[in-house]
Structure formats: structure tokens, C-alpha cells
């Protein structure tokens, strides 16, 4: 990160800065270097002698201030002798941008899906439902940071344990009623996943979505195995989503049809979801986003030719839809049309040069065409953009072997 240009005084010039709690955007060492870069003096221990105390972004909203800061420090802050801000406020104050590699590593939906070993369609559903929120978007392409990766890992664990997306949303809504000031409890609160349960950690206890308190024996380090609980809150009645949809009135507006299509997706009824999206397109007119969703589902259903045409249609409706361009390239490569795939990937990069997935797929396609010198530059650019990607080791091995 560079300091402020020109003769302006760096934002932290001469200020003694201490960090407390778990940092979210950077490591402790990186945070101290950022302070030095901005003219500040990093201090290891919080005391009334510092000028600025930064509370880590991964600290819990429910943690009482007194658990992090002494009464003396809090009193000094109240008297204006020092300042206490959050990690996010510090990055905003320093003018850090989302893409700054020192502050965050960003993952595309495909990277996140590979990391968690879940279908990319699942990542997109979580995104559409607001369960994970991108740090930034470029031409409809969402990028997720470390915090959303942690949230997605918890969602993946719940799904692996048999929870449906709707059941997850219901439990999160119940937690939100317990802490109404928190919009996204899975991301913002200290929660643990136990089977299909989402439990809120508070002090030495755990709170179930229904509000019932239970002792967290792990938190008090007694080492005993957890006792069995038989509260009704641990057992959730489930009903087939298909049965639920059958009981609902027929959707009549494009918006209702899209909602029904999403519900069918969540229920795993992909053919029904495709038909409902097509109905929405017929009723409301062609929309690039819906064409893209249909293409994704058709691909999952194995209808590659139809998926290809829907990707083309999405691009015709929105030429800046870079994820549709990238997926079209992947479909073309999969069907052996490598020259066309390369053209599609190159067209994608013309709209979004820093799309790491596309550099990766383009490099692989160029290698298959024996255009290795061209591939080298894209392997390297991919590594520069996404050094922590699940595919990074493959890129490093390819560059090392030539």
C-alpha cells in the first residue's frame, strides 16, 4: 500500500497504533507494516500510552468492550486521550480499495466452489439469497473475501449435514430475532455448526435459534463430552419443498415465477426450475441474468448444446456479462472447440482484464493447442491475481516444468 501522494502528511504520521482482538483483513505482521507505511508506529501492547487502538474485524459484535479493553483504556478513550476504531474504519481511513492484495484475497464463485467442494450453482444460490455477500462486483461477477469464505464454509457444513437452504434461512431468521441489530448472523456473530443446528456462542454458553440456553463445555475447557440434549429446539420438522410448492397458488407474475424457479432449484428439481425460468422469460421478456441461470441448469442436466445457446443469448442481451462469456468459453473447450474457446476467453478479458478464472482456463486451452509461449503469460497472470486459488499449485507446477 502506498502512502498519500504529494506533500500531504501520511494519515498515521507519528501516531502509536495498537491492534486488539482477531484481525480479519490482514495478519498481525501485515497490519504493523501497513501502519509503518502510513507513518505510524506499531505498538504490541494496548495501554493508555497509545494514540489509536484498532479492534479486529473478526471480533464478535456481542463481545463486551470490557472483555477486550481495560477500564483504564476505556476511560482514557472517553476523555479523548486516545481513539478506538474498528479495523474496517482503519482501512476506510487509509483509503484501501477492495482489490488491494495486502488487505484481502478475493475469490470468484468458481474458486469458492472448488475450495469448498460444492457445485458453483450452490455458491450462486447462496449469493442470490444474500447468505454470502461479495466484497465487490465487476460486470456482474461477484468476488468474495476471506470473511465470506468462512461463512460459506459454515453453510457447506450445514448442507453436508443434510440441511436444506430453506431450513438454513429459517434458523438464521430465528437467530436474527435474538439479535435484531445484526443483519447477517452467520457472518457477524460467533456461531458454531452442530449437525443441522446453528448455535450462537455467548460467554460460556450456547443459544439455540429458539432462544434456549445450553452450557458450552468446550468453552470452559472441562474436557468432558457434551451431554445429550432433548429439547424440542434441536429437532426441526421438515417438509418436502415439492409438496410445499404444490400447495401454493400458481405463480402469475414473472417475479413469482423466478421465486418458484429458485425454490425448485433448492429442492433439486432442476427440470422444473428450467421450465419455470422459461415461463418467466416468456412472461417478462428476455433477461440476461435469467438466460444465464437457465444455461447453468441445462449444463447440470447434461444438455450442453442448449446451455451453449443460452450463454450466447445472455451475452447478446448484455455484452458485459463476463461470467456468461467465461462459462461459454468453458463449454466450448469441453466440447473440443478450442479455437472458439480461446476467442471467447480473450473476449472476456477484453471486458474484464483481471478475471483470474479466465486466465487459468485460457492458459489450459492454449497449452492444449500447443501454444505454450502464449499460455505462459496467462499462467503467470493467473498466479499474480489469485496466488491463494485452489488452482494455484497447478499453475506453479506448469510454470516450473515449462
* 153 and 90 part of one domain: no
> Domain end: 40, 70, 94, which one?
94
Strands 191-194 and 197-202: antiparallel
Instruction: Give the Cα separation of 381 and 376 in Å (integer).
Output: 9
Q: By residue range, what is the domain housing residue 123?
A: 109-221
List of residues 6+ apart from 210 with CB closer than 8 A? 174, 231, 232, 233
pLDDT beneath 50, residues of the chain: 1-7, 60-64, 97-104, 182, 185, 187-196, 198-242, 244, 246
Residue 101 within a domain: no
Residue 136 within a domain: yes
* 314 and 357 part of one domain: yes
* 286 and 393 part of one domain: yes
The predicted structure's pLDDT at residue 171: 65
> Please, what is the Cα angle at 119 between 117 and 121, to 5 degrees?
150
Query: Based on the number of CB atoms within 10 Å of its own CB, is 74 exposed (0-12), middle (13-18) or buried (19 or more)?
Result: middle
* 39 and 120 part of one domain: no
The predicted structure's pLDDT at residue 132: 82
Residue 324 within a domain: yes
Residue 320 within a domain: yes
The predicted structure's pLDDT at residue 11: 84
The predicted structure's pLDDT at residue 219: 40
The predicted structure's pLDDT at residue 224: 41
Domain count, the chain: 3
The predicted structure's pLDDT at residue 21: 78
* 314 and 349 part of one domain: yes
Domain CATH code at residue 48 = 3.40.50.10190
Residue 201 within a domain: yes
Residue 230 within a domain: no
* 116 and 206 part of one domain: yes
Per residue, the 3-state secondary structure of the chain, as one string, reads CCCCCCCCCCCCCCCEEEEECCCCCCCHHHHHHHHHHCCCEEECCCCCCCCEEEECCCCCCCCCHHHHCCHHHHHHHHCCCCEEEEHHHHHHHHCCCCCCCCCCCCECHHHHHHHHCCCHHHHHHHHHCCCCCCCEEECCEEEECHHHHHHHHHHHHHHHCCCCHHHHHHHHHHHHHHCCCCCCHHHHCCEEEECCEEEEEECCEEECCCCCEEECCCCCCCCCCCCCCCCHHHCCCCCCHHHHHHHCCCCCCHHHHHHHHHHHHHCCCHHHHHHHHHHHHHHHCCCHHHHHHHHHHHHHCCCHHHHHHHHHHHHHHCCCCHHHHHHHHHHHHHCCCHHHHHHHHHHHHHHCCCCHHHHHHHHHHHHHCCCHHHHHHHHHHHHHHCCCCCCHHHHHHHHHHC
Grid cell in block for residue 310: 443460452
* 396 and 285 part of one domain: yes
* 69 and 120 part of one domain: no
Residue 186 within a domain: yes
Q: For 148-185, what is each residue's pLDDT tens digit?
A: 777 777 777 777 777 766 666 666 666 556 555 545 54
* 297 and 352 part of one domain: yes
> Domain end: 177, 192, 221, which one?
221
Residue 243 within a domain: no
* 301 and 354 part of one domain: yes
* 201 and 299 part of one domain: no
* 286 and 391 part of one domain: yes
> Domain end: 94, 119, 152, which one?
94
Domain CATH code at residue 329 = 1.25.40.10
Amino acid at each position: 500500500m502506498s502512502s498519500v501522494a504529494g506533500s500531504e502528511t501520511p494519515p498515521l504520521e507519528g501516531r502509536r497504533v495498537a491492534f486488539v482482538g482477531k484481525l480479519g483483513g490482514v495478519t498481525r505482521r501485515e497490519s504493523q507494516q501497513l501502519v509503518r507505511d502510513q507513518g505510524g508506529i506499531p505498538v504490541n501492547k494496548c495501554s493508555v500510552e497509545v494514540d489509536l487502538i484498532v479492534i479486529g474485524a473478526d471480533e464478535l459484535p456481542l463481545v463486551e468492550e470490557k472483555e477486550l479493553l481495560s477500564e483504564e483504556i476505556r476511560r482514557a478513550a472517553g476523555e479523548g486521550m486516545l481513539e478506538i476504531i474498528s479495523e474496517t474504519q482503519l482501512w476506510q481511513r487509509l483509503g484501501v480499495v477492495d482489490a488491494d492484495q495486502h488487505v484481502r484475497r478475493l475469490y470468484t464463485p468458481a474458486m469458492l466452489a472448488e475450495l469448498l467442494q460444492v457445485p458453483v450453482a450452490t455458491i450462486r444460490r447462496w449469493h442470490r439469497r444474500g447468505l454470502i455477500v461479495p466484497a465487490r462486483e465487476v460486470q456482474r461477477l461477484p468476488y468474495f473475501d476471506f470473511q465470506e469464505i468462512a461463512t460459506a464454509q459454515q453453510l457447506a457444513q450445514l448442507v453436508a449435514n443434510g440441511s436444506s437452504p430453506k431450513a438454513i434461512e429459517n434458523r438464521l431468521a430465528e437467530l436474527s430475532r435474538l439479535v435484531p441489530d445484526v443483519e447477517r448472523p452467520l457472518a457477524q456473530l460467533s456461531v458454531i455448526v452442530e449437525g443441522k443446528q446453528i448455535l450462537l456462542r455467548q460467554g460460556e454458553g450456547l443459544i439455540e435459534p429458539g432462544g434456549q440456553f445450553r452450557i458450552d463445555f468446550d468453552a470452559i475447557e472441562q474436557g468432558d463430552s457434551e451431554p445429550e440434549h432433548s429439547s424440542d429446539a434441536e429437532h426441526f420438522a421438515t417438509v418436502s419443498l415439492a409438496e410445499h410448492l404444490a400447495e401454493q397458488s400458481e405463480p402469475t407474475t414473472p417475479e413469482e415465477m423466478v421465486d418458484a424457479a429458485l425454490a425448485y432449484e433448492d429442492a433439486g428439481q432442476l427440470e422444473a426450475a428450467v421450465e419455470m425460468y422459461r415461463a418467466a422469460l416468456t412472461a417478462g421478456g428476455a433477461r440476461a441474468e435469467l438466460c444465464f441461470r437457465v444455461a447453468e441448469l441445462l449444463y447440470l442436466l447434461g444438455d450442453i448444446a442448449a446451455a451453449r445457446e443460452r450463454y450466447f443469448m445472455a451475452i447478446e442481451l448484455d455484452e458485459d456479462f463476463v461470467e456468461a462469456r467465461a462459462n461459454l468459453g468453458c463449454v466450448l473447450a469441453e466440447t473440443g472447440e478450442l479455437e472458439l474457446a480461446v476467442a471467447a476467453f480473450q473476449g472476456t478479458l477484453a471486458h474484464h482484464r483481471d478475471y483470474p478464472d479466465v486466465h487459468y482456463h485460457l492458459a489450459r486451452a492454449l497449452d492444449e493447442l500447443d501454444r505454450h509461449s502464449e499460455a505462459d503469460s496467462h499462467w503467470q497472470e493467473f498466479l499474480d491475481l489469485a496466488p491463494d486459488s485452489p488452482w494455484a499449485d497447478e499453475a506453479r507446477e506448469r510454470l516450473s516444468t515449462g
